[in-house]
Structure 1
Amino acid sequence: MSSDQEALPYWQVNVSPEQRSLECPAFLADANEKDQKILATPDADYRRLSWSEVQRLINTNRIDLFQRVPSDLRRYKAYTARLKDEYGSVMNFVMTERLRWQDLVSKGEPFSDSDDIKILLNDWPYGIDSRIVHLVVWVKFQFEEDAITGDLTDAARKQLNSYVDRTFRAHVGSGNCIWFKNWASLKSIHAVEHFHVMLFDPDREFVKQITNDDVALADKIKINDV
């Protein structure tokens, strides 16, 4: 890292000189210490996590260590700030534009009705090996959680794991699929239940089929849009 880069405040890193602002943009003003550190890192110095590192973080329940590529984090925060202005909340946008659900009333027991489930690409994936496909499974039902720990109960974990087995692992192999459910404190959207599935180097036609040919927002929007 050059001395010039080291001297820049976090909101000016990964921004061309002509686009740098003297004051911190409003959408970055509430960035916590972790995000500020990420934003202050030049993209060139960022190292993406390998598949084995991703598996280790999930298996040891250190999902708090996932982070986005610095410039992607900046775009994410800029875009979500705009969504809050336009839709009132990110949840309203997700419900209206991404899920296109009118309500969150489930038609039966968990995973019993396909209308209660929607699989989409993660709009703003983490800084991981580009061969890893990060999916989000949105559902209209709630998972049973331990009242003390807030973690999934053994029964709920078994139920969820069974769904992942037949929906994903049956197609990509057990070694190429892993899932996790965010802690409540890490969720960006609380009102709509969801969990994450990561696939290592899956067949792209399978991904298109399972997501109904979805395209992540990060790939749809242009830099100038945020």
Structure 2
Amino acid sequence: MPESASPALPFWLVNVPQDQWPTECPDFLRDLGDKDRRIIGSPDSDYTRLAWPQVKGIVESGQVDRFHRVPSDLRRYRQFTFGLVQEYGSIMNFIVNERLQWKELKPKGAPFEYPEDIKILYNDWPYGIDEDIAHLVIWTKFELEEDAVTGRITPKIAKEIDDYVRKTFAARINPDHLIWFSNWRALKSVHAVEHFHVMLYRADAAFLKEITNGDIPMSAKVA
């Protein structure tokens, strides 16, 4: 008679060394939705990072909801953001005061008119993509106008973003290795500070250091 299958692990024990298993589900994982539970409960070994052609295809088709993190990275992200809320009161407070270090959020001028209204940083917790892809977040003090019905940015602001991205990045990287997108309202993890995403494939390390002012993502800083 064949051996009976081992019972499936609770999602909160997957990808955790057995000698580090908690006795119960950690607080930072208790209130997750079904999607995050499913991802965190999947072995990292089953995950394949998205290659550049796949990343471009997802963005160009507008299916950015298909991006998600490697399971163990999503677990770390949830633990980190849970701690931020305990320490700073909200993720927004941490972003504004620690990452952006902006004293106030009022823009100096019209969209993309003043560099002081923009900051380029790494995405602290990037998606599960090829590690040759740099995932940047462009934070802005000015509004990225959205359609009230769809929650997506308007064609006018999309054109302004595209012009900015081309001017800022295209001279230093193969245009085929550059893409940007803005999450629609329902997908944004930080709502109070405007931002959009830029992905660069095989960008020069010196250029990345220059454009981010030497930034290091939080995922590389925390254990």
Structure 2 match to 1:91: 92
Structure 1 match to 2:140: 139
How far apart, CA to CA, are the structure 2 residues paired with 1:181 and 1:41? 27
Structure 2 match to 1:174: 175
* Alignment partner of 1:165 is 2:128: no
1:103-130, Cα deviation, whole Å (9 max, x unpaired): 1110001011010000000000000000
Deviation at 1:147, TM superposition (A): 2.2
Letter in 2 for 1:15: V
How far apart, CA to CA, are the structure 1 residues paired with 2:50 and 2:106? 37
How far apart, CA to CA, are the structure 2 residues paired with 1:50 and 1:219? 21
Q: How does 1:27-106 map to 2 (within 5 A)?
A: 27-106=28-107
SS in 1 for 2:172: helix
Q: Which runs of 4+ in 1 moved over 2 A?
A: none
How far apart, CA to CA, are the structure 1 residues paired with 2:195 and 2:46? 32
Deviation at 1:87, TM superposition (A): 0.1
SS in 2 for 1:34: helix
Q: How does 1:199-210 map to 2 (within 5 A)?
A: 199-210=200-211
Letter in 2 for 1:23: E
SS in 2 for 1:152: coil
How far apart, CA to CA, are the structure 1 residues paired with 2:185 and 2:39? 22
How far apart, CA to CA, are the structure 2 residues paired with 1:69 and 1:171? 29
Deviation at 1:138, TM superposition (A): 0.3
How far apart, CA to CA, are the structure 1 residues paired with 2:74 and 2:117? 30
Deviation at 1:21, TM superposition (A): 2.2
TM-score, with length taken from structure 2: 0.95
1:172-215, Cα deviation, whole Å (9 max, x unpaired): 12100100101111111110000000000100100000000000
SS in 2 for 1:120: strand
Unaligned runs of 5+ in 2: none
How far apart, CA to CA, are the structure 2 residues paired with 1:24 and 1:51? 35
Letter in 2 for 1:43: D
TM-score, with length taken from structure 1: 0.94
1:122-151, Cα deviation, whole Å (9 max, x unpaired): 000000000000000000000222222222
How far apart, CA to CA, are the structure 2 residues paired with 1:35 and 1:150? 23
How far apart, CA to CA, are the structure 2 residues paired with 1:187 and 1:144? 14
Q: How does 1:99-138 map to 2 (within 5 A)?
A: 99-138=100-139
Letter in 2 for 1:179: W
Deviation at 1:84, TM superposition (A): 0.2
SS in 2 for 1:7: coil
Deviation at 1:98, TM superposition (A): 0.3
Cα root mean square deviation, aligned: 1.1
1:65-114, Cα deviation, whole Å (9 max, x unpaired): 11101111110000100000000001100111100001111000101101
